[in-house]
Amino acid sequence: MDKTAALGVMTNSFYELEYRAQNPTQEEGFLADGKRAAAAGIAKTKAVADMGAVGLKLDKAPNVTKLVTDVAAKSTDVKPFADAIAQKYKQDPNFIEKLEADMGTNPQLAEQLQSQILKDQAQASQIISKYNGSNLAELVKPAPVAPKPSVQAKAPDTPSPVTVAASGVTQKKEAAPPAAATTAPAAKPETPSPAEIKVPPMPGEKVGVADIGKAAFAELANKSNSEIADFFTHGVTGKDGKIAQLGEGIAGQAAKYGVSASLIDGFEKRLSTDTKLQERIAENLKEHPDFVKRLAKMSSDESAPPDAQKTAIKKELEHMMSNPELLADKNHISGLEKKMEGGDFLSKIGDFFKNNMGFDLGGMMAGIGPALQEMMQKLMDMLGKLFGKSGISMASGNQDMGGNLRSQYELSSMKAMPTEGSLFREVKHGDKMVKEVNTIQVEGADGKPLDVIPTDGAIRVGQGANGDVRLRVAGSIGQDGDVKYTRDVYLSKNGFDTYKAEVAMRNAEVGVKDQKPQQTVHINHETGQEFEKSTPQQGSTQPSQDRMAQTFPVSNPGPVEVRPLSPLGG
């Protein structure tokens, strides 16, 4: 058996452990079948992740790796050994490092351990399970073989041969007789022991080195820069090398984004066969640990990419896949690193986009992984910048796409706040109970009381010389406080102070935001002449920015420079 096959057996050991942990009972019926199938799927995912972590540890533990490789090479079956390692790893995830240190300082002990494992793998596996990080010398001492009990606790229903290899020679012996022969069926316990739980075969495709490599790569997301540099120091070339596996990982993502199969194939072939390129890529990645971490995060991100990101990522992937050399290009990777920046705002994103921004940003942000969220945030920051200043606009039709986008962007940053713990109240209208939004009463600019929905993220659009404020707040809300429409209210200075105090009492996260007075100058696309837009924005009750500027004083109309043009424009 080679190392690859041995790692496959070890993955199966992890799978069995996970499955038994997920599915501790042996229920019957189709519902139980469904549960078993789900448990098997989860167990497989966890097993591959565990193997990835073990793979990373083995990468830095040459003595333990040699032990695994040698045992695999000299055996036809490594299941007892693999089971022992998986079980021990679950108990103590650092045991590989400890064993590596012990074997490194005492090579004789390492040889003894290997020899015992090869002599009687099942027996020697006890050494692994009893190992505590400092007792290897004690455990590998030859011990008298204990007589086997006459009746085993439990054995497979059908006796099966157990293969044990010794010094390169495969020996076969019969397994112990089944327990059923000596135990009455009525004595069967209600809760089976873990060993009694039948584990179905691992679902889906067989786990290969590439899967383990991918899982190991995903582990890099949480590693230090020096550990990442170590990772790309050896084992990088060849068709099973780390760069080939990286290529396979990127190819898997690319397929998800709809990159053509021919482009993917070409990319994978280059990354698995061009040794010089593999070396250059490894050297480059050593210098860009942050990029590797982000890529690692993305590789383990199984969520569906949001629509708004698909094209951008696909474009980037197509560019990279048609020029695999770019992975070895220092400047290109630095550029990509910059594009993927923006993680500081992650914690804010959930709240910020809870509102429905057309493509259900709230649900989408919750459903996508952090790597995609970062990229999403970058785009939203760009939108924020675009709308944060006065500007000019030219449209071929009269749909006011810009107005709609601005409106949705603003809505996404607002949230209605409850009054006395509730957003709504039941009000009797005739003989019917009607649900109404809870509001607060503040003083309007005309001195009269005004009902306003307390809104976190309300926007102070303008302020008059006498202190009156034009405030953009929620005008209509959904069940969970998402703002469907906004409205502009005009408050006296006192009214505004009351409003601020009310939302502060409700622990507003954003409170009132100031929006610098902005102006949108609309240009006729045929004549190049400025014109006043009269179409109200769709999706919001608010009038367009320039019309608002006429109905309420603003302190600064904005720096846009507009000059009269000839009928032909230009």
Partner 1 sequence: MALDLDDEIDVLGAARHRSKQDEKYVIPENAPVLPSIVSGGRDAELMVNADGDAAVLYNQLLPEEIDWVEYDMDLALLTFVTYSGKVQGLGMKIHKPFRKYLSKAGEVMLIYMEDSKIPKDMYSAKLIIRNIGL
Instruction: Name the site residues for partner 1 (rule: CB under 8 A).
Output: 307-312, 314-315, 318-319, 357-359, 379, 382-383, 385-397, 399-402, 404-405, 408, 521, 523, 525, 528, 530, 538-539, 558-563, 565, 569-570
Nearest approach in angstroms of CB 527 to partner 1 is 8
Nearest approach in angstroms of CB 235 to partner 1 is 34
Measured from the Cβ of residue 526, the count of other Cβ atoms closer than 10 Å reads 11
| 173 versus 563: smaller Cβ distance to partner 1 | 563
Nearest approach in angstroms of CB 400 to partner 1 is 8
| 159 versus 258: smaller Cβ distance to partner 1 | 258
| 204 versus 335: smaller Cβ distance to partner 1 | 335
Nearest approach in angstroms of CB 19 to partner 1 is 41
Nearest approach in angstroms of CB 305 to partner 1 is 11
On the 0-12 / 13-18 / 19+ scale of CB atoms within 10 A, 513 is middle
| 274 versus 530: smaller Cβ distance to partner 1 | 530
Nearest approach in angstroms of CB 373 to partner 1 is 14
Cα 15–91–47 angle (5° rounding)?
A: 20
Q: Which one, of 356, 396, 391, lies nearest residue 476 by Cα?
A: 356
Token code pair at residue 21: 């942990």
Q: What whole-number distance in Å separates Cα of residue 153 and Cα of residue 157?
A: 12
Q: What whole-number distance in Å separates Cα of residue 153 and Cα of residue 145?
A: 19
| 62 versus 528: smaller Cβ distance to partner 1 | 528
Q: What whole-number distance in Å separates Cα of residue 402 and Cα of residue 210?
A: 46
On the 0-12 / 13-18 / 19+ scale of CB atoms within 10 A, 99 is buried
Nearest approach in angstroms of CB 544 to partner 1 is 13
Measured from the Cβ of residue 26, the count of other Cβ atoms closer than 10 Å reads 14
Q: What whole-number distance in Å separates Cα of residue 293 and Cα of residue 287?
A: 12
| 381 versus 451: smaller Cβ distance to partner 1 | 381
- Name, in order, each residue with C-beta under 8 angstroms of 58's C-beta and a sequence gap of 6 or more: 64, 65, 68, 96
Per the listing, tokens 């500027």 go with 549
| 4 versus 527: smaller Cβ distance to partner 1 | 527
Token code pair at residue 307: 């629509």
| 385 versus 429: smaller Cβ distance to partner 1 | 385
Per the listing, tokens 């590693």 go with 223
- Name, in order, each residue with C-beta under 8 angstroms of 152's C-beta and a sequence gap of 6 or more: 176, 177, 179
| 130 versus 389: smaller Cβ distance to partner 1 | 389
E strand spans, 215-321: none
Q: What whole-number distance in Å separates Cα of residue 339 and Cα of residue 291?
A: 10
Nearest approach in angstroms of CB 555 to partner 1 is 17
Q: What whole-number distance in Å separates Cα of residue 72 and Cα of residue 446?
A: 86
- Name, in order, each residue with C-beta under 8 angstroms of 487's C-beta and a sequence gap of 6 or more: 472, 473, 474, 475, 541, 542
Token code pair at residue 96: 């590989």
Nearest approach in angstroms of CB 513 to partner 1 is 18
Work out the end-to-end distance of the chain between its first and last CA atoms, rounded to an integer number of angstroms: 76
Nearest approach in angstroms of CB 386 to partner 1 is 4
CA 342 to each of CA 358, 363, 546: distance values in angstroms, whole numbers, following the listed order: 23, 20, 33
Nearest approach in angstroms of CB 563 to partner 1 is 7
Q: What whole-number distance in Å separates Cα of residue 483 and Cα of residue 423?
A: 12
Token code pair at residue 277: 């390129």
Q: What whole-number distance in Å separates Cα of residue 458 and Cα of residue 288?
A: 41
| 234 versus 516: smaller Cβ distance to partner 1 | 516
Nearest approach in angstroms of CB 126 to partner 1 is 58
- Name, in order, each residue with C-beta under 8 angstroms of 272's C-beta and a sequence gap of 6 or more: 239, 244, 247, 248
| 21 versus 379: smaller Cβ distance to partner 1 | 379
| 8 versus 306: smaller Cβ distance to partner 1 | 306
Nearest approach in angstroms of CB 333 to partner 1 is 17
| 198 versus 359: smaller Cβ distance to partner 1 | 359
SS3 category, 155 = coil
Q: What whole-number distance in Å separates Cα of residue 78 and Cα of residue 85?
A: 11
